[in-house]
Structure 1
Amino acid sequence: MLRGAWREIRYYPSAVLGLIVIVLFVALSIYTVITIPYSEAVRLWRGGEEVWGDTPRLVPPVWYNLFREKKLPLTIKISSTDEAAVHKEEQISDDLWVHDVICTFDFPYDEFPQDLGMFLEAQFEERAPYVSLVLERPDGEEIRVEDLSVQGGRQVFLVSQSEDLHRRLGLPERRETIVGLFAEDPQAEDPVPLKGTYVLRVETTLFEPESTITSKMVVYGRVHGWAGTDHLRRDLSVALLWGAPVALSFGLLAALGTTVTTMIIAAVGVWYGGWVDSIIQRITEVNMVLPVLPILIMIGVFWNRSLVIMLVAIVLLSIFGASIKTNRAIFLQVKSLPYIEAARSYGASDFRIIFLYMIPRVIPTIIPSLVLGIPSFVFLEASLAVLGLGDPVLPTWGKVINDARVNGALLQGYFYWILQPSFALMVTGIAFAMLGFSLDRIFNPRLREL
């Protein structure tokens, strides 16, 4: 029956389309787990300066430029360790050295960058190096961006946080400092970016022969990656990619655990009957009136928000559901079939009859409900995350939606932030629904006439 059903799927276009989408999601999940291992995904999502220092804050994906006439700038990263960087060193005296690093970059975009950051790391014993940052524009003008001492071995400088630079550039009070560095006329009422080749000079004065310094410049763009970034400069592609294996595994395990366990309990109740069946039915009736979502919320608030804990709780609360009564009605019919009486007559054990004769007969009718149950559990996990009860470690689609909601993504125009994970959830649900309803028609011939 199962082989014939799978052959019949090709006559249902919706089932074929749904199956293709599911296979693509499974392939994406495998690719994600291999290329971004669990520990790496957690590190990227928790982040830190070494992770988020290279990404802009709250910017849309790169493909956003396809719908704009004026192209938004991408992020430009230049390091003193790059091969293109030019190094010049000169000894002035016995205890004074000058080390210059010259980096060039092109800026062909129609909008200003979000910010400019310099990350300096120095190694010294007593006297910290002194650094001057000079930006040479395409029109030949040189701007001394900042002079600073690299105390503590590490220094971070952001143009947006420099009030002194803003004052020296003579910009209007509410105009961003970055505009003064990249505008053709920073004083114009409606300034436009100056396109061309820029040169950044990192002029370092060293006071010890063994002192070294490395520098990295990041010109933060207005678009980033294929998924954009959030309010913490996290690349949303990590959460969107890892959301697939988390959602599919959670939905599959919950649906499989609930469906299989419910089927076994119903079969045991029907076979033994009497007080066993009566207890199962009373537990089911009590469980059916329990508020599942409030119970899960209390578990997350007062105990643990781990995805594994939530999965176990959901399965336990779903085992004694309405499916028990549906399966019981089916098993009552199976119990009265002649081959079950024949198994009894030759002395087959109760275990053998239940697991080898009764349950296999019902499996084809359970498959559609199993497939249709997967997206419901996927949405339940996302709903808990949206309520702030998602796994505290793993990046998931629901957590992205919750972060976007809490930070007013829709109100501030960051539509990509909330629409991308919502679209992934919607496509997942539709794919399983198309396959599940088609399987329901295949395994239940009466539905074909509807």
Structure 2
Amino acid sequence: MRWEDTKQSIKNFLFEFRHQKIGIFGVIVLAILLITAVFAPLIATPEAKENWRNMAYWDENPVNAPPAWMNYFTSKDMCPHVIMDNYEEKITDLGGGIKQDQLIFVYNYKYDIPPTDLTFKGELVYYNSSKPPTINMSILRPDGKTIKLYSAASKTGKPEDDHYVAEINVLVTASDTAKKETYNFGRDFETEENLEKVLSPDFVKPMSVIFSKTEPGILLESADPLKGEYKLLIDVFYFDERDNTRSAKSIFAGKVYGLLGTEKNRRDLFQGIVWGLRWALALGLLVAVFSVGIGIAFGITSAYLGGWKDELMQRFNEGVASLPFLPILILVAAAFKPSIWNIIILMSALYWTGTAKVARSMGLQIKEETYVEAARCLGARDRRIIIKHMIPQVMPYAFANMALSVPSALLTEAGLSFLGLGDTTVITWGQILFDAQFAGATLKGLWWWVIPPGLAIAIVGLTFVMIGTALDTVLNPKMKRM
């Protein structure tokens, strides 16, 4: 075929395709998906991909927090997640070789539902191993009242050169001091009836008391929120003038987080959806190209050879089609480490049989055409006739079938991951759904852990269905007449 003929064929195809609105819409969505996949390092965080299974990386995020935009649909505003590393520092010499290092974090609270927790993290550097620093933690409320949250000497630090470094990680909800102090603080404003319902500090939620007005119900989470400027006060007492504080930050764990929220392991689900898109497109396209390519080549070759060779190839096709995919994959997973590449290879090796059947039926008609007979009479080799004259005639069907095969590959991978047979070393939407199912997300009402990955699979699958349907309509003469 000459270049001019090829160019004209492409023009004719584009002219026909642009009238397929469903196909145009599918191409637009696919372009958006491809752009998102290519620019994933800019849209998401590269470190999130590398540390998806490293739970320590996510420990500063809230647990099971819904998306931040949920505030638009609720009557009460939930506080977002805030990490603060900017603070005011005051150093005071108390005499006797004692130094007070005070860190002041300012937090503006303007919400109806308080943070789920308050954490202070930092590193205390000290030089005298026999005198580790002491740390006190308290919070100054907008009404001028102060609540003590923590008080203890730091644990023995790790030796580094001529000094020691003690890592501090204080959680208010895990602090017995915070529970006791908030209980005592709230008792002064409670009714006798309410106090009978709260028998000890173990029944108190410190964060609720801290961010509530001093009125009856403060211990029962029914008091109105106290909005305004809060100051988290961290007082570290050192016993050497060289001692200092570094890498200090406070974390107000939000009730809502980011675009898609977090899950049980505190992972940002938006990161998982974005990075999972790459594998979704790669897996779907690779399986579609290889399985359809194998099926086309096998079917056309079988049709051209005919006779006992055709019969033998068709029996082989039926044998492969009857192989149970899931048990085979279970055996492979048991024998080898589960890998996304094993899944791609297995699907490519087993998903071509249907395409081969259709390609054979088309090939039986094509091999009777005059140009095929002419090529055979001129002494063309069988391989040349198959590749040069027959396969190009079924390429329209091949392209349409490739597009329609992508959703099947995506759903298969998601199903395998849902059963625990997926590759845990990569981020896939199926793996996210498996983690959600394993944690009982549906029963707990954590819809943001289930709907986004499921919807993402549906969108990618529907995109290729729309493109495949449009291609089939344009390239299949019978469909065009319909």
Q: Give the TM interval when normalised to the shorter protein.
A: over 0.9
Matches of 2:59 and 2:154 in 1, distance apart?
18
- Pick which of 354-363 and 220-229 moved more: 354-363
Secondary structure, aligned partner of 1:11: coil
Answer yes or no: is 1:358 the counterpart of 2:390: yes
Find the residue that maps to 1:156 and give its secondary structure. Answer: strand
Alignment of structure 1 residues 260-279 onto 2, 5 Å: 260-279=293-312
CA displacement 1:228-266 (0-9 Å, x = unmatched): 000000000111101211111100000000001111122
Alignment partner, residue 168 of structure 2: 155
Quick one: which amino acid aligns to residue 68 of structure 2?
A: V
Structure 2 unaligned blocks of 5 or more:
1-8, 158-165, 187-197
Compute the displacement of 1:226 (Å).
Answer: 0.2
2:262 to 229, 241, 256: 229
Deviation at 1:28, TM superposition (A): 0.9
Q: CA deviation at 1:166?
A: 1.1
TM-score, scaled to structure 1: 0.93
Determine if contact 2:149/2:175 at 8 Å carries over to the other structure.
no
Q: Distance in 2 between matches of 1:403 and 1:162?
A: 30
335, 338, 358: which one aligns with 1:305: 338
CA contact (8 A) 1:130 1:149 kept: yes
Match of 1:61 in 2: 67
Contact 2:154 2:168 in 1 (8 A): yes
Residue number among 291, 294, 305 corresponding to 1:258 in the alignment = 291
Residue in structure 1 matching 2:178, options 144, 165, 175 = 165
1:103 correspondence with 2:105: yes
Deviation for aligned residue 1:94: 6.0
- Say which SS state the counterpart of residue 439 (structure 1) adopts: helix
Contact 2:424/2:431, CA 8 A, preserved across alignment: no
Q: Rate the CA distance shift 1:177–1:298 in 2: closer, same or farther, 3 A.
A: farther
Q: For residue 122 of structure 1, give the secondary structure of its aligned residue in structure 2.
A: strand
Shift of 1:34: 5.6
8 Å Cα contact 1:104-1:200 kept in structure 2: yes
Task: Check whether the contact 1:111–1:192 (CA below 8 A) recurs between aligned residues.
Answer: no
TM-score (norm: length of structure 2): 0.87
For residues 296 and 10 of structure 1, the distance between their equivalents in structure 2, rounded to whole angstroms, comes to: 41
Aligned-pair Cα RMSD in Å: 1.9
Q: Which amino acid aligns with 2:29?
A: V
Match of 2:162 in 1: none
Distance in 1 separating the partners of 2:221 and 2:402:
63
1:240 aligned residue: 273
Tell me, in whole angstroms, the C-alpha distance in 2 between the residues paired with 1:144 and 1:97.
20
The whole-number CA distance in structure 1 between the counterparts of 2:132 and 2:278 is 48
Evaluate the alpha carbon distance shift between residue 98 and residue 413 of structure 1 in structure 2; reply closer, same or farther with a 3 A threshold. Answer: same
Instruction: Provide the aligned length of Structure 1 versus Structure 2.
Output: 443
| Counterpart for residue 112 of structure 1 | 114
Q: Matches of 2:462 and 2:115 in 1, distance apart?
A: 39
Q: Measure, in 1, the Cα distance between the counterparts of 2:220 and 2:44.
A: 47
Instruction: Please say if residues 107 and 195 of structure 1, whose CA atoms lie closer than 8 Å, have aligned partners that are also in contact.
Output: yes
Contact 2:83 2:249 in 1 (8 A): yes
What is the match of residue 135 of structure 1? 139
Superimposed CA distance per residue, residues 287-308 of structure 1 (whole angstroms, 9 cap, x where no aligned partner) = 1212212322332344231101
| Pair 1:52–1:263, CA change in 2 (3 A) | same
Distance of 2:12 and 2:327 partners within structure 1 = 43
1:341-356 pair list within 5 angstroms:
341-356=373-388
Structure 1 gap ranges (5+): none
- SS of residue in 1 equivalent to 2:203: coil
Using a 3 Å threshold, how does the CA distance of structure 1 residues 241 and 357 change in structure 2: closer, same or farther?
Answer: same
Q: Distance in 2 between matches of 1:57 and 1:346?
A: 73
